[in-house]
Structure 1
Amino acid sequence: MSLSTSAPVAATEAVEVPAISIRGLRKTFGSVTAVDHVDIDIANGEFFSMLGPSGSGKTTVLRMIAGFEAPTAGTIRLDGTDVTRSAPFERDVHTVFQDYALFPHMSVLDNVGYGLRVRGLGKKERRERAQQALDKVRLGHLGDRRPSQLSGGQRQRVALARAIVLEPRVLLLDEPLGALDLKLREQMQVELKQLQRDLGITFVFVTHDQEEALTLSDRIAVFDAGRIQQLGSPREIYENPASAYVAGFVGTTNLLDAATSQRLLGVADEHAVRPERLRITDARDTAPAAPGDVRVDATVTETIYLGTGNRVHLRTADGTELVALEQSTGAAAGQEARGDRVTVRFARADVVRLTAAES
């Protein structure tokens, strides 16, 4: 008598539900389309940035996630639950704005604990939790002060503490560093990234500052005209921009149109090459281009000293404008002056072929 057994059933891996899932999101204001068919999945614990110029649709998407704007079309899910038509207070998210909107008549501790007070928590518990939140942003010793007695960076941290004390699943940040000066903003970028890692919650960050997005993000969505032009890691977006728009908006780049690409590369497509990939040598450098390299003669039109190096503007004989970035390596480095004839070299491997931007 034989015993037959059924084949083992293959175990299926559990698919993690995204913290935020957006499908077909659209928003119009009269005849103006602010957001046009946006699809995004944002993972739990991810630092996700929406980057773009003013009017690109990024803040409108953030406001729809928060519930401050109703979509014209599409769906928004938080942890798998459809919240498209839910009120803001029905969503487990909190928003930090550029204007921190702290209550001037309250102490810092009471400002942080205000949301807990609205939720009906007792005084002892809300003060304990507010103190813990202040400790997380390293302001535990300033709880008795008024907002007017704090610096801009400290007020920004109070606004963050007021948000995280509510323990949201998602924290939305609408250009929260925009009002700070450059040095303080750079310091706060480091602190904000560290805070997000310590808390382990999902951050959705809106900014028009490319360096800020590159510094902070796990992934970036580059917006233009209400649509996502490219979605990827900071490295992917910087090293392999999908279009001329992305290449020009995220950092500085040399855009080579089809005609210029044909002359330099032998391929009639649009390409881009970053300034730091260009090498400048003396015009007497007559050696032919090595295999895999491109060589072109040019004239220096301007040299700008940056401290860490020089940004050198160049023009080739056919009128093509190029920019090279030279790192400072010593007193003799980067001495090109306006009018100097030079040779520019770069590797073909550093040239990125561009596709047309989405219409």
Structure 2
Amino acid sequence: MSLPTSAPAETATPGGAADHPAISLRGLRKTYGDVVAVDHVDLDIADGEFFSMLGPSGSGKTTVLRLIAGFEQATAGTVELGGSDVTRSAPFERDVHTVFQDYALFPHMSVLDNVAYGLRVRGMKKAERRERARQALETVRLGHLGARRPAQLSGGQRQRVALARAIVLQPRVLLLDEPLGALDLKLREQMQVELKQLQRELGITFVFVTHDQEEALTLSDRIAVFDAGRIQQLGTPREIYENPSSAYVAGFVGTTNLFDAETSQRILGVAGEHAVRPERLRLSPGSDTETPREGEVRLDAVVVETIYLGTGNRVHLRTSDGVELVALEQSTGSLDTREHRGEDVTVRFARADVVPLSS
């Protein structure tokens, strides 16, 4: 069941506000004394986009989210929502809603009343707000649990109640601050699928903050990778993973083999820093004395460690001149899962799979 379509005119997507990005940040800066938390961020997030801000703790991503929500005031720069400048507007004056990691449900209220609470604050009549809350619970597949208390729900169910409480208000933008961080791995993976499906059904702009690179790659239409208060790279998950712009992005988003300038010159015969993903490396037992094929790099190495992953093996290697490498071999790969430490192997990868990195 979908939510009612009687949203305020300013949240409608045809024409009007949809001609502007859902969120536009220009020269956004936030300092706390001498500490620069956000350093001149320029960013447009499209209407209906699932956008992730990815980075480690202290990278600035959560502060940007709080600046969008209005929980923090910018030191400099502007925040626009649908073309309207809300930089100095209070949180309740912004057409956004935030879902936090701790859910913040009222334990003494039923699930239905928790979802309806925001509509109650807005003064909506009881019958209408309860109907809207029921529809929101149906949207997150919890329509049968409206009479329960939060303590009677699982972690995943409480997370979906928090989502229902947000979407019942029909915000233009939904901000999610690491909402899956408290869930176990299996439940987190399930919720990732449900979040993506829900976002597509609703068409609401989702802005998702996470430090989990796999989560960002799984969910997002686009990703901004943060470090030191700045966006280090902005692009689709495929662009971020396959063409990282720097050693920082290559190292933070997934596992990679980084070659510094000296190693690149020695192994690849080219200047500058480079990277190649572990799944691009092919391994075969023993040393191969044949001349490498055109467009191929071939190295002699020894197995340092083989770690079984279920779907394959992560193989840690050391080349004859001391370069540390990691390869990922699928279960059908040529390197048997019983390979022991110390065995000689030949490493091959295509030059086309090597990505140049900016300094």
Q: Same fold (TM over 0.5)?
A: yes
TM-fit CA distance, 1:259: 1.0
Shift of 1:77: 0.3
Q: Give, in angstroms, the shift of residue 319 of structure 1.
A: 1.0
In structure 2, give the amino acid aligned to 1:18: P
Equivalent positions of 1:123-134 (< 5 A) are 123-134=126-137
Structure 1 unpaired stretches of 5+: 1-13
* Structure 2 counterparts to residues 64-75 of structure 1, below 5 A: 64-75=67-78
Quote how far apart the aligned CAs of 1:15 are.
8.9
Query: In structure 2, how many angstroms separate the alpha carbons of the residues matched to 1:68 and 1:255?
Result: 39
Correspondence for 1:183? 186
**One-letter amino acid of the structure 2 residue matched with residue 285 of structure 1:** D
Equivalent residue in structure 1 for 2:209, among 206, 210, 219: 206
- Equivalent position amino acid for 1:328 in 2: S
5+ residue gaps in structure 2? 1-16
Structure of higher CA gyration radius: 1
Q: 1:285 & 1:75 partners in 2: Cα distance?
A: 59
The alpha carbon displacement at 1:332 in A equals 7.3
SS in 1 for 2:315: strand
Give the match's secondary structure for 2:147. coil
**What TM-score results when the alignment is normalised by the length of structure 1?**
0.94
Q: Is the 8 A contact 1:326 1:334 kept in 2?
A: no
Contact 2:25 2:43 in 1 (8 A): yes
Return the alpha-carbon distance in structure 2 between the equivalents of residues 284 and 24 of structure 1: 55
Q: Identify the match of residue 151 of structure 2 among 140, 148, 154.
A: 148
Partner of 1:264: 267
Q: Does 1:249 align with 2:252?
A: yes
- What does residue 63 of structure 1 align with? 66
How far apart in 1 are the matches of 2:140 and 2:210? 21
Instruction: Give the structure 1 partner of residue 309 of structure 2.
Output: 306
2:5 aligned residue = none
Q: Work out whether 1:226 is the aligned partner of 2:224.
A: no
> Equivalent residue for 1:172?
175
1:88 correspondence with 2:91: yes
**CA distance, structure 1, for counterparts of residue 45 and residue 262 of structure 2:** 40
Structure 1 runs of 4+ aligned residues shifted over 6 Å read none
| Deviations 1:35-66 (CA, angstroms, capped at 9, x unpaired) | 00000000000000000000000000000000
Q: How many residues align?
A: 343
Cα distance in 1 for residues equivalent to 2:19 and 2:126: 38
1:330 Cα deviation from its structure 2 partner = 7.5
In the alignment, the residues of structure 2 paired with residue 240 and residue 331 of structure 1 have an alpha-carbon distance, to the nearest angstrom, of 27
Q: Which of 51, 54, 61 is residue 54 of structure 2 equivalent to?
A: 51
Identity of aligned residues (%): 83
Paired AA for residue 222 in structure 2: R
| 1:175-197 alpha-carbon deviations (Å, 9 max, x no partner) | 00000000000000000000000
Match for 1:354 among 348, 353, 357?
Answer: 357
**Structure 1 residue 318: deviation in Å?**
1.4
SS in 2 for 1:345: strand
For the 8 Å contact 1:269–1:353, the answer to whether it is kept is yes
Could you report, residue by residue, the CA deviation over 1:199-244 in whole angstroms, capped at 9, with x for unpaired residues?
0010000000000000000000000000000000000000000000
Contact 2:285 2:335 in 1 (8 A): no
Deviation string, structure 1 residues 290-343 (Cα, Å, up to 9, x no partner): 100000001111000000000000001211100000000189733321000111
CA RMSD of aligned residues (A): 1.3
What amino acid does structure 1 have at the position aligned with 2:274?
H
Distance in 1 (CA, whole Å) between partners of 2:337 and 2:347 is 13
Cα deviation, residue 272, structure 1 = 0.2
Q: Which residue of 2 aligns with 1:99?
A: 102
The separation in 2 between residues aligned to 1:223 and 1:63, in whole angstroms, is 15
Partner of 1:192: helix, strand, or coil?
helix
Distance 2:282 2:233 in 1: 29
1:252–1:275 contact (8 Å) kept in structure 2 = yes
What residue is the counterpart of 2:329 in the other structure? 326
SS of equivalent residue, structure 1 residue 314:
strand
1:215 maps to which of 210, 218, 225: 218
In the alignment, does 2:355 pair up with 1:343? no
- Superposition pairs of residues 279-290 of structure 1, within 5 angstroms: 279-290=282-293
Q: Does 1:275 align with 2:278?
A: yes
Letter in 1 for 2:39: D
Cα–Cα, structure 1 residues 44 and 15, in superposed 2: closer, same or farther, change >3 Å? closer
